Structure 1
Amino acid sequence: MKYDVTAAPELSHTIRKMDSIPSIKRILEAICVSTGMGIGAVARVDQEKWEACSIVDNLGLGLKAGYRIEPANTICSELCSLPEPVIIADVRKCANTRWKEKMNGGGFRSYVSFPLYDQHGDFFGTLCTIDPSPATFDEKQVIRLFGLFSELITFHLGTLERAERAESQLREERKQARRRDRFIAVLGHDLRNPLSAISSAAQFLQRHAEEGRQKRMITIIYDASVRMRRLVDNILDFARMNLGSGITIISRPSNLYETIKQVIAEFAAIWPGRPIDLEIGGGELTVPCDADRMAQVFSNLITNAMEHGDAGRPISVAAYVDNGCFVYLVKNNGKPIPKRCLDNLFKPFVRGADSTEQKGLGLGLFIVHQIVQAHGGRITVNSDDNETVFRVHLPLTGRV
């Protein structure tokens, strides 16, 4: 071959994708066999270059995807303005002197080239085969075969373009999601200090206010600040997970029975009108875990039971050891969780019911699930017309 061939400094995304499609290679092998020619290629052709997107080189010339030829030296560059494909079995018998010059200049005698178009109908390049020797083939069969293969490659081009567009949109959406999560993390962090101030001030006023309307109003403020703090904590945890830092677990031997009692005492102070029946083993239960994170699990599950359970009936909480695991159980009466919601219950922004009056962001159970998983445990839920029961199972030996 006498053409000046250069390799592209870096393969474009389209070329890498096309060269990796096995069916493209099989098409090129098929056209080489059917025409008896040694080189088959799908090439991208424009005013600046002829560039191989995928190539089969049976002549051993070392041609690869990404190799380029000056378009002026090729007949392929003329196909964008030609109404018909170019079929030359022997260039010495060709009447077109310009084509003879180009073929002779490259040292080739036989050549077949069909135009390729993208899904918008714009000229993309060519499906071609070429050889230094004259070829013998059935022209009508070659036209049918190349026409079919050109349609298949055009389909692939459309698929690649749609995939590239989808990947580009996905990258942009991920960038926007990261910016949003950073904003949420900063916002949540900045909200914590004023919320802590409100909560502390309300708690102080609660202790010194006399019984009556004023104390009830102060209690409402305190309850709201506590709930807001939980929401902010959930938002911050969610943002950390999305930003890649994940749930931070600092594991140390912890008495989980004592942690549960502390959580129950906090709820009794905040919601004295909502009884919680506690059934717990005696003494200590030391488990290697992050006690603060597990307190978040205990608290979120009780909050969930209070928000979705029957306000006139107590919530049941139990903790015990079963089959080498610490088990934490929260049970409430009320409407069952719809079956269609159960599979997605532990995903972010999912709530267990259809009511538009549901409180919260739908992050509580997601955070619970992530913390339990980070400890090597698991969480299950059963819900029917009588009751809804959440169970957390944590290995006594720590993460497994």
Structure 2
Amino acid sequence: MPTDNHHALSDPGVFLNQVAHDVNIIGQLGSVPTILQTVAHTTGMRFTAVARVTETTWTACAVHDLIDFGLKPGGELVLESTICNEIRQHHQPVVFGHASAHPIFSQHHTPKQYGIESYISIPIFRLDGEFFGTLCAIDPLPANLDDPNIVKTLELFAKLIAAEIDVQERLERSASALLDAQETAKLREQFIAVLGHDLRSPLSAIQISADLLQTMEPTARAERVINHIQRSCDRMTEMVRNILDFARGRLGGGIPVALKVQGNLADALQHVIAEVQGSHPHRDIRVAMAIDHPVTVDAGRLAQLLANLLNNAVAHGAVDQPVSVAACCDGQGFELSVTNGGVPIAAEKLARLFQPFSREADAAPKPGLGLGLYIASEVAKAHQGTLGVSSTEAGTRFVFRMPLSPA
């Protein structure tokens, strides 16, 4: 027997949104007003409607009202006061033309409560068999509904409405898929533009430096040029690594990790901090570490996560305020945080912070591909951990948490 569990969602908010969505779907069907007028003409009844009926609600989706019954699309009746609630359970049409003279419905609460004499209601089933609601008509006056063709006609209308609902939803899904494809194309274009711009500078530096090396003796100046080449190569290596990690994450495989028990995790983290401090000698980086338990991690990936967070804090934090790094663990888990001062991040930007290429279109140019925070979040997921962010007047704080021994 068909059921109506397709939209029986556990979250009440999601459930109500689904009902509102169904009302909106019916409102977009151009045939429904004509169907309701035709039902009124065929039955001689002056109020017709399409109702969405669930286990808890009766909601009008479309209405043709010539008796001022008072219902508008989106309006609700108490479910238990309706005959549609009974139809939801037994899935059969209900028809009577003169309630007060009917052996059953003369005593039924619904005709008495709403002052109706004639009534017809046909169940609407989705194409997959799910119960959607009813196509119904009522009138305070009696009506001649003895002609069996009336029920057959309304059943055909109910099937037509069900078919159009499915067509409309397929159109919506197609539109959503098209929007996703457009967003993907935009993302790809941004990626190519940023990649081309950011790789051009270090490659140019390497080419010029290599040309210079060919014309000079090994001197102090040559040593400086060689160091410059090394830094540019390191920068390109980091970009390539980020590109590969981004590709793994976007293709669904996730960033690979090699989990091992680390008894000296603090040393690996201190090494990252020293490297960033060396690149930014004028920034105040404060460190507090209390790692009292061995942690099962990929130390290299965790170092990458910290480097991305710390470089982000140095790049975007206020230069006159310190950057703080804290790491600690207890018997349950490990926590690593990076905090910087500066102007709070707006809520709408905060929600997009871990998306790739999340830089604003008018943001000042900065080195890198804009993948650091995205990759940090993927590293967190690979450790069965979480990476969160909060931003207030007191500062912006990123917090990574994970179990001591991920499965």
Q: Tell me the TM-score normalised to structure 1 length.
A: 0.49
Q: Tell me the TM-score normalised to structure 2 length.
A: 0.49
Q: Which entry has the higher C-alpha Rg, 1 or 2?
A: 1
